[in-house]
Structure 1
Amino acid sequence: MAALTIRPISSKRDRKAFIDLPFRLYRDDPNWVPPLKGEALGLITPEKNGWYSHAKAQLFLAERSGSVVGRISAHFDTLALEMPATRGFGPGAGQWGLMEAEDEGIFRELLARAEQWLRENGSTRALGPISQSVWEEPGLLTEGYDHPPTVMMGHAKREYRGWIEAAGYRPVKELLTYDLDITKDFPPIVQRIIQSGEKNARIVIRQVDKSRFDEEAAIILGILNDAWRDNWGFVPLTEPEIRDVGVKLKPIVFNDLIRIAELDGRPVAFMITLPDLNEPLAGLNGSLLPFGWAKLLLWLRRPKVRTVRVPLMGVVKELQASRLASQLAFMLIEYIRRASVANYGASRAEIGWILDDNQGMRSIADTIGCSINKRYQIYEREL
C-alpha cells in the first residue's frame, strides 16, 4: 500500500480539496445534506470568518497516491482559553474538528498530527470534535443517523464514535436536539400558563423587525450573553462574528419566526427559529449552478418546509429561577409554533442543541411533548 502523507493546507486549491472530501465520502448516505461549497469555504477562510479574529487554526489533509483520503482541523480560541476550566475550556484547552477519514488508520494519523500541532501551540488537553467554533457544529453525532440534520447541524459516519473512543478520548459533554410535532396543541397545563401570561399587562411578546436588523440583533445578543454566560462551553460572540453570522443568516430571518419577550417594556427573553434551509439544499449537491440559485431564491421568497429549527433561546439570568421564565418560554414557543404551521406549512420543529445538564430547558422540552431525536458528543483527552 502506498505511503500516507499528512500535510498542512497551504493554498486555495488545498482548501477546495478539504471541502470536496465529504462529497465523496457521503455520496451514498441519503441523510447527509451537501453544504453550499461557497459557504463551507468561507468558514475555513480567515478573511471570511470573524471567528479567526480571536482564534488560530491549522487544517491538515491526508493523501495517498495523490488522492485526498482524510482531513482534520486543529485550533484554539483565545477567548475560550480565558474561561474557567469548570465551564469546559479554559487554560490549555485546544480543539480539533472537521474530521473525515476513509478508515481508522488514516483517522489515527490525522488525530496524532492535530494533537502535535496543539501541543506545539501550548495546549495541554484536546476537545473534539468542534468544527471549528462552538457556535458552528460542535460534537459528534452518536444517535439519530437515520434522518437528515437540520440547518447548521452536523452529520457523521457511525464508525467515527468507535475510532475516537479507541484513541483514548472520554465523553465530556453531550448536546441534545429534540423533536416536536407542532401540529398538535400543547397540554392543557401549558395552555393555561400561556393564557395567564396573555392576561398579564406587564408581558409583551413581539416579532422582530428585520428592517432594524442590527438593532434587533444587538437586543438578542445582550440577552444571549447574559442568559448563557455560565453555560458549559459558552464563548461570547465578537463583533466580527456577529457581522459574518448576520450576513449568513439574514436571508432566512423572518419576522414572525423570531420573537422577543418584554417585561415592563424591557427585553428579557428571545427565541430564534429558522426554516430548515437543508430541505432546499439537499438537491443542489453543494452548488448554485446552473439553476440552483434560482430555485433557492424562489424558496427564500416564500419558504415552505416540513421542519423549523430553534437554534437559540434565552431568558435573562435574573429570571431563570422564577416561574416567569417558564411562562415566557412557553409563550414564545407557542406563538412561533402557530406561525410556523400557518405561514410556512411546517409540521415539526427541532429544538437544540441543548446541553445535557440544562435541566431548565430539558424540563420545558419534556413538558411540551418533545422527544430526543439526535445526540452529539464532545470528547476530551489530556495531551
Structure 2
Amino acid sequence: MSGGQGGDAGIRIEQVVPGSKAVDRFIALPYRLHEGDPNWVPPLYMERQETLSPKLNPYFQHADVMFFLALRGEKVVGRISAQIDRAGLEIRQDATGHFGLLAAEDDQAVVDALFAAAADWLRARGMVHMVGPFNLSINEETGLLVDGWDTPPMLLMGHDRAYLGPRIEGAGLTKAKDIYAYLYDIQHDLPKPVRRLIDRPLPANIRLRMLDMKRYDQDLENITSIFNNAWAGNWGFVPLSEAETKQMAKSLKLLINPKLAWIVEVDDTPAAFGVCLPNLNEAIADLGGKLLPFGLIKLLWRLKVKGVKTARVPLMGVRRDVGGWLQAILPFLIIDAMRREAKQLGYKQIELSWILEDNLPMRRIIEAVATSRYKTYRLYGKPL
C-alpha cells in the first residue's frame, strides 16, 4: 500500500497497487459489508485474487488500473478502482476513464472521498469523463444493482447494497445507462408465433450445431469473432483480445456443457452463437468464498452430480453482415436449442443478461419469449 491522501470526517484514502499484498484488504471489504444480506453470494476468494491480478487477468495488458481504500483510523470503510482501458480509447478517443469495484459503508463522506480519489487519478492521466462501475472491464461485471435486491445474483453479475445508488448520486454522478437482466422460466415453451417461425425447415445452407469440444479452442475463437463483430458499435463496447479469448476458454472449460452452447453456420461460416452457463453462484452460495478444506468437493459435486437449477446466458450474438430475416430468426433458434437441452438437464430458470436499455431489437427478441425483466443495473457518469 502506498500514497496517502487526506479526507473529511477522519477518512484517509490510500492507494493499493494491483499485484501488491494490500490487495487482500481490498478484496475482503465486501464480505464484511454484506454480512446479514441473504441474497449476497460471497465470491470465491481465489477467483477475486485472479481477477485483480495483473499477472493472471489479461485485461491489465491493455489497461492502467489503480485501487483505492478509504480508512477511518485503521478500519477499511470503502474501496474503489480507477482504470483507463486503452483498447476502448482507441475505438472512441473520448478521454473517458472508468471506475469500478465500489463498496462502502453507508456514509456519504466515504463515498465522496473515494470518488474524489478516483477522479483525481483519472484527471491526472488526461481523462475528461468518468463512467462506471466496471469490474474491471465492460466484458466482466458491469453496472450497479438498482432494482432486484430480493434475489441472489447469477454468475458474473453483481449484487450491491441498496444505499449505494443514492450515495453515488450524492457524489455528483448521474445515470449514463441502464442494463437489464431477464429471467426465463424454461418449463414454458416459446410462444406460438415464435414456435411457428422457427419450426419451418431451414435452408440447406444454414446449420445449427452444438459447441464441438474436440475443437474447443477453435470454436471459442469463432465465438469471440462473432461477438466482436455483433457488438461493435454498441455503447461502451471493447473487443475481446486474443489473450482474453484464451483466458475465457481456459476459465469456462470446467463450466461449459456443449449441449448449452450453440453455433449457427451460414454457408459453412460461423454467423451466430449463444452460450448458456450453469449458475456457479447457486453452487457456491454457502461456501463463504472458500474452496478449502471441503468447498472444492462440495462445488464439484453440486455442479457435476447434483446439478444446479439455474443458468445464465452471458454471451450471444449474430454477425452484422447476416442480413434480412436471418437476423430475426437466428437468436430464436439458439434460445430454443438452449432451452430444450437445459430443460432435459434439469434446469428450471435461465437468466438472459445483460441487455442495454436502448438495445430495442434484442429486447424485443427476449421479451417475445415471455421472459420477465427482474433486475436493473445502472452505469453512472460524471465530467472531470
TM norm. shorter chain > 0.5: yes
Stretches of 4+ aligned residues off by more than 4 angstroms: none
1:353 to 1:2, Cα distance in 2 relative to 1, 3 A: closer
Aligned to 2:352: 351
Aligned to 1:134: 138
Aligned to 2:186: 182
Contact preservation (8 Å) 1:204, 1:263: yes
2:199 is the counterpart of 1:191: no
Aligned to 1:236: 239
Residue segments in structure 2 that go unaligned for 5+ positions in a row: 1-7
Give the Cα separation in 1 of the matches to 2:242 and 2:338: 28
Aligned to 1:254: 257
Q: Secondary structure at the match of 1:153?
A: coil
Q: CA deviation at 1:28?
A: 0.7
Matches within 5 A, 1:108-257: 108-196=112-200, 198-257=201-260
Give the Cα separation in 2 of the matches to 1:324 and 1:118: 43
Q: Secondary structure at the match of 1:251?
A: coil
Per-residue CA deviation, residues 42-94 of structure 1 (Å, 9 max, x unaligned), is 1111011100000000001111221211111011100111223xxxxx32101
Q: CA deviation at 1:303?
A: 5.8
Give the Cα separation in 2 of the matches to 1:274 and 1:73: 28
Give the Cα separation in 1 of the matches to 2:368 and 2:381: 32
Give the Cα separation in 2 of the matches to 1:287 and 1:31: 18
Q: CA deviation at 1:37?
A: 0.4
Aligned to 2:302: 299
Give the Cα separation in 2 of the matches to 1:13 and 1:55: 20
Give the Cα separation in 2 of the matches to 1:142 and 1:14: 30
Per-residue CA deviation, residues 120-141 of structure 1 (Å, 9 max, x unaligned), is 1111110011111111111111
Give the Cα separation in 2 of the matches to 1:266 and 1:112: 49
Give the Cα separation in 2 of the matches to 1:368 and 1:205: 19
Backbone CA RMSD of aligned residues: 1.5
Q: CA deviation at 1:249?
A: 1.5
Opposite residue 131 of structure 1, the aligned amino acid is: N
2:49 is the counterpart of 1:41: yes
Aligned to 1:87: none
Give the Cα separation in 2 of the matches to 1:150 and 1:317: 28
Counterpart pick for 2:25 among 17, 24, 27? 17
Give the Cα separation in 2 of the matches to 1:269 and 1:222: 10
Give the Cα separation in 2 of the matches to 1:367 and 1:164: 34
Aligned to 1:92: 95
Opposite residue 14 of structure 2, the aligned amino acid is: R
Per-residue CA deviation, residues 226-273 of structure 1 (Å, 9 max, x unaligned), is 111111111011122222222222111110000001122221100010
Q: Secondary structure at the match of 1:57?
A: strand
Counterpart pick for 2:273 among 270, 273, 276? 270
2:60 is the counterpart of 1:60: no
Opposite residue 267 of structure 1, the aligned amino acid is: P
Per-residue CA deviation, residues 259-297 of structure 1 (Å, 9 max, x unaligned), is 001122221100010010100110111000110111112
Residue segments in structure 1 that go unaligned for 5+ positions in a row: 85-89
Give the Cα separation in 2 of the matches to 1:6 and 1:81: 28
Contact preservation (8 Å) 1:124, 1:382: yes
Opposite residue 191 of structure 2, the aligned amino acid is: P
Give the Cα separation in 1 of the matches to 2:86 and 2:197: 43
Counterpart pick for 2:311 among 278, 289, 308? 308
Opposite residue 166 of structure 1, the aligned amino acid is: G
Give the Cα separation in 2 of the matches to 1:280 and 1:143: 23
Q: CA deviation at 1:210?
A: 2.0
Q: CA deviation at 1:163?
A: 1.0
Q: CA deviation at 1:323?
A: 1.8
Q: TM-score, normalised by structure 2?
A: 0.94
Q: Secondary structure at the match of 1:47?
A: coil
Contact preservation (8 Å) 1:259, 1:271: yes
Opposite residue 157 of structure 1, the aligned amino acid is: R
Q: TM-score, normalised by structure 1?
A: 0.95
